Structure 1
Amino acid sequence: MRDGLGRLLGVRARLRWVHLILGGALLMPYFLLTQVGVGIAAGGVNALSSFPLSLAAYAAALPLVAATAVFGLVRPLSVTAVRVMCGVPGDRLAEGPARSWAARGRTSAWWTLHLGVGALVSGLTLAVPPMAVVLITLPFVSGLRKARLGLGWFDTQADPYVAPLLGAGLLAGLALCAAGAGALLARLAPVLLGPTTADRLAAAEERAADLAVRNRLARELHDAVGHALSAVTLQAVAARRVLDSDPAFVREALAAIEDTTRRTVGELDAVLGLLRDGDPARPDAAPAPTLAADLDGLLARTRAGGTPVTAHQDPGPARDWEALPAIASREAYRIVQEGLSNALRHGAGPVELRIRVQGREGTPHRDLEITMTNPPAAPEDRDREPRTTGGRGLRGAAERAALLGGSVEAGPHEGRWRLRAVLPLAGGDR
């Protein structure tokens, strides 16, 4: 009993009823327009004074409703109303305007159904309650029993005490009709307003683009900040150990810490600027580090932490890498930076770095090859300081290489830890 009343008069049922009445209100401009045309076609009479003509105007209004529903904003409006008032979960409804004609056709069907059924329910809502009140109060008001109420199907004087039952039945029928129509629309909403294949594809592309931006930001933050923290930590530890015995080394380490933090603040500011939509590039923002301009400084800061680094570069010093494509130079720098960070955090002993450009046999294409090796940490060191980064830096390096069509390999090799990256270059470069 309680469940039945809840379905008829509960909060959800009342909201759906209001949703239907709103549909009837939205139909009124169409109906007023078509009733003028129907009245003119019927010989200049008022269509509202004739029930058949009113039905004809109502029927003529529905095609106009269907035609106007092809506009893009109709679906977002309908989806919002259905989600709030009909209790349909948002994940079963489409987002944004209809993109295809198939989606517009489904939206048109929904709009016509909502306004058409809503107009009928609105008409009953306006007509039934006054009639029901009259029937319920009929036995108690003698004037009503003598008045001509226009109820040809019921004799008000023959048996007036049946009238309250009829009035209550009319109200129950109205509630049942409104609840049934609301439930029907709620059931059909996911079918007519649900996402189409094109909507799902567009949503997937949007999520993929958002994920790509987030991954890019994660890579930049990890590589810039993560390397800086590792380098600064090791430099500070090395300086603390020789604080009394080697003041010159301490000064060099502090200078390296100052330089590292200053550069990292600039890089962090540039990365955070990407988080602001439409934030134009600042003229004073630090440029992205490249292999040509920043490799020597990266190696110097790493050595200042007490880790020997031997660099073998082909064709020569870092300044000779200026002919590399800008994007390849930037990504190569980040990959070298990540390799040095791994060596500082998880390795032991000197690091050997080799960078060279080599051609592919039988083709004009060239590759930039980066190879970095270092002894792995001793077992007791690994047990004392377990790795907790989850390999995000190596995944980021692999993603950077994949953006250029290259690859990254990392793992044990001949008793050492090796990181090897291959970045394709354009055929005419170098």
Structure 2
Amino acid sequence: MRDFARFLLGRRARQRWIHLVLGGALAMPYFLVGSVILGPVTGSTDVFGSFPLQLASFGVGLPIAAVTSLFPLTRPLESAAARWLCGVDADRLAPGPARTRDEKHRTAAWFTLHLGLGGIIAGMSLALPPFAAVLIALPLVAGLRGTRLGLPEVLDHTWALALAPVVGVASLLALAGCAAGCGALLARWAPVLLGPSPEDRLAAAEARAADLAVRNRLARELHDSVGHALSAVTLQASAARRVLDSDPEFVREALAAIEDTTRRTVGELDAVLGVLREGDAPGTAPAPTLAAHLDGLLSRTRAGGARVSATVDADPEALPPLLSREAYRIVQEGLSNALKHAGERVAVTVRIAVAGGNLEITVENPVTGPAPSRPGGGHGLRGIADRARLLGGTTTAGTAGPAGDLWRLHVRLPMKGPA
């Protein structure tokens, strides 16, 4: 019973009732135009005095309303009204004007439906409440009886007087039921007639996919850049602390490497975060590449005490910019994983070569024990695999060697692959 009462007179039902009354108000000019047309056609001088002619005027006005619904602002305004008053989710409605023929046809159908149902409910809302009030008060107010108000003579009978309040209340309930039903019908049809077209949905899906791709790329950049910097700085500071008294020259080199690492990382971080700041231009720090920054990466890693040997059998200057950038990040993350899991004194071997039209990157280090677990860790290899897959390459990682005492990361990137 409570749900039924909420359906008839709840907040949502009242808002939809207002939406219908607004449709009736919008229908009035078209109704007047229809009456002007029907007057000369039927030869009637009093169209408003005939209920059939009123209905015919209303019917003539609706096709005219359908034509005027082609005005560009019709769909945005109707979508806003359906969202606020009918309770339709915004993502199920198209915010912009109708552009294609199908969208215009659906907008015309919606506008006609809104004004048609709105005109009926608005007319009932004007006529039924006074009539119901008279019927409810009829047994109590003797002055309302008789034919002075145009009421039928049968209402003078005792049994009719007893039933009049019941009929009045039933009329009000019927009005509320019709308004609630028509409001629910409009709410159901709004996404169908005012919703986005398949082209709009495809464009929105593509925009979301592009946004997710950008976010994933930024997440990889932050993980690789900041993660490597923190690992390198931690190892450099730890190594410097241990030899602070015995090897001042090494300490100075480690502090210089820390300074260089943090400065470079802050620049990269600013470049990445600049993309996320709405209205801001991206940061000016250039993306690191294999050609320009590999030597610096290796020297900063060695400053922490790691023994890194690198063999480059390729010309980094000849690599495409995108491939050079992604290859640098892969080498950076490979070194980070080796330092995190094998220790700061680990011997790491890096090989970069061109074979069979592919750029092959291999990072190896000895396995010193089980890999430590880190809260939130485990994204490095996944990021490398994502980078390789986007370039059309492949990634393999795992133990190698006769005794399984090596950890090997091998990435193959096509020299000419998908951008």
TM-score range, shorter chain: 0.7 to 0.9
Cα distance, 1:63–1:327 mapped onto 2, change above 3 Å: same
Query: C-alpha distance in 2, partners of 1:400/1:347?
Result: 24
2:325 aligned to which of 330, 347, 365 = 330
**Is 2:147–2:153's contact at 8 Å kept on the other side of the alignment?**
no
Per-residue deviation, 1:341 = 0.9
How much identity, in percent, do the aligned residues show? 62
How high is the TM-score relative to the length of structure 2? Answer: 0.86
Structure 2 segments unaligned to the other structure (5+ residues): none
Q: Tell me if 1:229 matches 2:219.
A: no
Query: C-alpha distance in 2, partners of 1:190/1:154?
Result: 49
Alignment-derived partner of residue 363 in structure 2: 372
Q: Tell me if 1:404 matches 2:395.
A: no
| CA displacement 1:334-371 (0-9 Å, x = unmatched) | 1111111111111242111111223x3xxxxx322211
Per-residue deviation, 1:390 = 4.0
Query: C-alpha distance in 1, partners of 2:341/2:100?
Result: 54
**Is 1:373–1:418's contact at 8 Å kept on the other side of the alignment?**
yes
In the TM superposition, what are the counterparts of 1:159-178 in structure 2 within 5 Å?
A: 159=158, 161-162=161-162, 163-178=164-179
Query: C-alpha distance in 1, partners of 2:46/2:55?
Result: 13
**Is 2:290–2:327's contact at 8 Å kept on the other side of the alignment?**
yes
Per-residue deviation, 1:157 = 4.3
Query: C-alpha distance in 2, partners of 1:164/1:119?
Result: 27
Per-residue deviation, 1:55 = 1.4
Per-residue deviation, 1:169 = 2.9
Cα distance, 1:334–1:30 mapped onto 2, change above 3 Å: farther
Query: C-alpha distance in 2, partners of 1:388/1:137?
Result: 75
Query: C-alpha distance in 2, partners of 1:221/1:68?
Result: 53
In the TM superposition, what are the counterparts of 1:191-270 in structure 2 within 5 Å?
A: 191-192=192-193, 197-270=198-271
**Is 2:146–2:153's contact at 8 Å kept on the other side of the alignment?**
no
**Is 1:100–1:198's contact at 8 Å kept on the other side of the alignment?**
no
Alignment-derived partner of residue 313 in structure 1: 312
**Is 1:138–1:145's contact at 8 Å kept on the other side of the alignment?**
yes
| CA displacement 1:162-213 (0-9 Å, x = unmatched) | 4433333322222222233233334444554566654543443232112101
Per-residue deviation, 1:80 = 4.6
Query: C-alpha distance in 2, partners of 1:417/1:45?
Result: 98
Runs (4 or more) in structure 1 with deviation over 6 Å come to: none
Query: C-alpha distance in 2, partners of 1:71/1:292?
Result: 58
1:353 aligned to which of 350, 354, 372 = 350
Code of the aligned partner of 1:121: I
Per-residue deviation, 1:101 = 4.7
Query: C-alpha distance in 2, partners of 1:426/1:16?
Result: 59
In the TM superposition, what are the counterparts of 1:70-81 in structure 2 within 5 Å?
A: 74=74, 77-81=77-81
| CA displacement 1:364-397 (0-9 Å, x = unmatched) | xx32221111112323xx3xx4244443222222
Query: C-alpha distance in 1, partners of 2:99/2:331?
Result: 45
Alignment-derived partner of residue 420 in structure 1: 410
Per-residue deviation, 1:156 = 5.2
Task: Indicate the SS of the match to 1:280.
Answer: coil
Per-residue deviation, 1:87 = 4.6
Cα distance, 1:72–1:208 mapped onto 2, change above 3 Å: farther
Alignment-derived partner of residue 341 in structure 1: 336
Per-residue deviation, 1:216 = 0.9
Query: C-alpha distance in 2, partners of 1:36/1:297?
Result: 86
**Is 1:94–1:199's contact at 8 Å kept on the other side of the alignment?**
no
Alignment-derived partner of residue 363 in structure 1: none
Alignment-derived partner of residue 386 in structure 1: 373
More displaced stretch, 79-88 vs 6-15: 79-88
Per-residue deviation, 1:142 = 4.3
**Is 1:346–1:387's contact at 8 Å kept on the other side of the alignment?**
no
More displaced stretch, 45-54 vs 117-126: 45-54
**Is 2:257–2:303's contact at 8 Å kept on the other side of the alignment?**
yes
Structure 1 segments unaligned to the other structure (5+ residues): 361-365
Per-residue deviation, 1:124 = 0.4
Code of the aligned partner of 1:329: S
Query: C-alpha distance in 1, partners of 2:47/2:79?
Result: 34
Cα distance, 1:113–1:262 mapped onto 2, change above 3 Å: same
In the TM superposition, what are the counterparts of 1:41-56 in structure 2 within 5 Å?
A: 41-43=41-43, 45=45, 47-56=47-56
The number of equivalent residue pairs is 409
How high is the TM-score relative to the length of structure 1? Answer: 0.84
Cα distance, 1:328–1:145 mapped onto 2, change above 3 Å: same
| CA displacement 1:309-347 (0-9 Å, x = unmatched) | 1111124xxxx5222211111111111111111111112
Query: C-alpha distance in 2, partners of 1:279/1:210?
Result: 17
Cα-Cα RMSD: 2.9
Query: C-alpha distance in 2, partners of 1:48/1:405?
Result: 75
Task: Indicate the SS of the match to 2:318.
Answer: coil
Code of the aligned partner of 1:336: V
Cα distance, 1:41–1:87 mapped onto 2, change above 3 Å: same
Query: C-alpha distance in 2, partners of 1:72/1:390?
Result: 52
Query: C-alpha distance in 2, partners of 1:129/1:208?
Result: 54
Cα distance, 1:15–1:412 mapped onto 2, change above 3 Å: same
Task: Indicate the SS of the match to 1:322.
Answer: helix
Code of the aligned partner of 1:370: I
Query: C-alpha distance in 2, partners of 1:30/1:225?
Result: 66
| CA displacement 1:145-169 (0-9 Å, x = unmatched) | 3562233x45454557344333333
In the TM superposition, what are the counterparts of 1:174-189 in structure 2 within 5 Å?
A: 174-189=175-190
Query: C-alpha distance in 2, partners of 1:109/1:424?
Result: 54
Per-residue deviation, 1:17 = 1.9
Per-residue deviation, 1:68 = 4.5
Task: Indicate the SS of the match to 1:274.
Answer: helix
Alignment-derived partner of residue 65 in structure 1: 65
